[in-house]
Amino acid sequence: MTTSSPNATVQRSLSLLRGLAGAMITLAITLLGLLLVTFVIGRVVPIDPVLSIVGERATAEQYEATRIALGLDKPLWQQFAMYVAAAAQGDLGTSIRTGAPVAEEIARYFPATLELATLGTLIGVLTGVPAGVLAATRPGSLADQIVRLIGLMGYSMPVFWLGLIGLLVFYGQLGWVGGPGRLDPVHQMTLDFSLTQYTGTILIDTALNGAWDVFANALSHIVLPAGILGYVSMAYISRMTRSFMMNELGQEYITTARVKGMPEWRVIWVHAMRNVMVPLITVIALSYAYLLEGSVLTETIFAWPGLGSYITDALFTADMPAVLGGTVVVGVVFVTLNMLSDILYRLVDPRART
């Protein structure tokens, strides 16, 4: 029985610390670059933030006082330093439309997008991975052709068209699902005035409160938009799973396992899937990030009060603090998911730990 020497343990610990330090430095540089981009955008757009606040009828003294209060009289490098310092404290500015802090408004809207995107990603993973494996293990078969056709349709059909058709058929004609919005008005009143909201996600909050009638109503509303996003996610995940699995099934270790008489299900779901999961983690993370920031059309069609709708409404009203704050949050989501996928990558693949 062999044991690791103290020196080897120290070396592994130092390697882990160096990796964590490098990841933190990369994260800080990425976020700093993101803040720089949003800062530049806020300065080059042809919208005067001072005028948006004080209005066109303000006096010159009011205009100048507001300009000084916003720090716009200082050099650009000082303005950027103030912007970074405020963002580090969670201050993303004040909405021109409502006068409320942008961070508070995003915190109110983001759980709806998180709930919708998470459920859509779960649907995409639970259907896309088995479909991709099925297609890869039977190349050229009818099952393979069906999976590829479904994936091609998911890529080709516009999301807004799928949403409109889904509402027309499943809500308007069949009445199987709830309509636009997260809840019916009566249940929305129950949620707002009678239930404790812990997370902002209706399914979780109503379950924690034991309000199963509101839970059922919320589920009827989310199943269609989440199903459409899940279909789009499934099209991407099934295609990539099929490609990764076909590559692994052609490797020598798979042939060796089959020659030794190992059951086919074990060859596929244990040995091959172990290596497929390494790149598939990144695919799933990117798909999740896309649903978190790219579901604007879906949220608009289904009147879903999420982050995408919030940024869209801010764009239409030239509310640049809200637009830039939402952009920063989207960037942070992407960076965070990339970091998490990298951590999972290292956990799944022992070779990456060195």
Question: Are residues 82 and 171 located together in one domain of the fold?
Answer: no
Provide CB contacts within 8 A for 259, sequence distance 6+.
Answer: none
Question: Are residues 319 and 205 located together in one domain of the fold?
Answer: yes
Question: Are residues 79 and 179 located together in one domain of the fold?
Answer: no
Classify residue 296: in a domain, yes or no: yes
Total count of domains within the chain: 2
Buried b (16+ CB within 10 A) or exposed e, 142-174: eebeebbebbeebeeeebeebbeebbeebbeee
Half-sphere exposure of 314 (CA within 13 A, CB side): 27
Provide CB contacts within 8 A for 168, sequence distance 6+.
Answer: none
In degrees and rounded to multiples of 5, residue 101 shows phi and psi of -60, 135
Q: Quick check: helix, strand or coil at residue 177?
A: coil
Domain that holds residue 48: 23-88
Question: Are residues 80 and 108 located together in one domain of the fold?
Answer: no
Domain boundary among 37, 58, 88: 88
Question: Are residues 67 and 116 located together in one domain of the fold?
Answer: no
Q: Quick check: helix, strand or coil at residue 101?
A: strand
Could you list the pLDDT tens digit for every one of the 354 residues in the chain? 445 556 766 776 676 677 667 777 877 888 888 888 888 877 777 666 777 666 677 777 777 787 777 777 778 788 888 888 888 888 888 887 787 888 889 888 999 999 999 999 999 999 999 999 999 988 889 989 999 998 888 878 888 888 889 999 999 888 888 888 889 888 888 888 888 888 888 999 999 998 899 999 999 999 999 999 999 999 999 999 999 999 888 888 888 888 888 888 888 888 888 888 888 988 898 888 888 876 777 888 888 888 888 888 887 777 778 888 888 888 888 888 877 777 777 776 655 555
Question: Are residues 152 and 257 located together in one domain of the fold?
Answer: yes
Residue at token pair 């020598």: 252
Provide CB contacts within 8 A for 34, sequence distance 6+.
Answer: 328, 331, 332, 335
Q: In sequence order, what are the beta bridge partners of 101?
A: 94
Provide CB contacts within 8 A for 143, sequence distance 6+.
Answer: 134, 135
Question: Are residues 138 and 59 located together in one domain of the fold?
Answer: no
Classify residue 6: in a domain, yes or no: no
d(CA 145, CA 354): 40
Question: Are residues 184 and 269 located together in one domain of the fold?
Answer: yes
Question: Are residues 84 and 150 located together in one domain of the fold?
Answer: no
